[in-house]
Structure 1
């Protein structure tokens, strides 16, 4: 324990607070970037905090059906992407949509409706 205290005291003379904050922030962002979520469909690797928003910004001229079709060719008919910290799952392809809406309707019918969608529909509920 004494050796550890001496090492901390010696390091305090060479390292200042901004250096420690930068190191801790770098470690946390690296951990968030390298962390992979389990049980999710494949998709592009999200950036820390931003998700996949930079991909949308880089490919803006091609954004729309063509851009999402390219992603579905790369990652498959069921894929996920992140807009900031919100997960979105996209289903494309006739067979995958049929499987999700007909075969697995009971599993997918209890999803929460986003408040914006409920407002646009005019039903006033988000459940």
Structure 2
């Protein structure tokens, strides 16, 4: 089953960016992680938006620590598996997230090149 991870990304002290979460889905056919920036981790049923980021290396499924290029640090908050596997070219999908800290269905829809809409239903 493909994996997912949510990392708390704390930007470098000299950055103007606030801390945020990087939500990453393993896309095995591409050998990379489809990634979105979230402001929060959904716990209960909720609607929220996210910003798509460039694909990340698979190493981030396990990595915690400093990010290269003085871009701050990441700390793993949630990790688990999901199904069915997505393809990065999809603009709409629904998946089931399963981890010790988060179980539920996540729906996603691309609104524009720079914004996605998400709905999480906890079970």
The TM-score bracket by the shorter chain reads under 0.3
Higher helix residue share: 1
Higher relative contact order (CA 8 A, sep 6+): 2
**How high is the TM-score relative to the length of structure 2?**
0.20
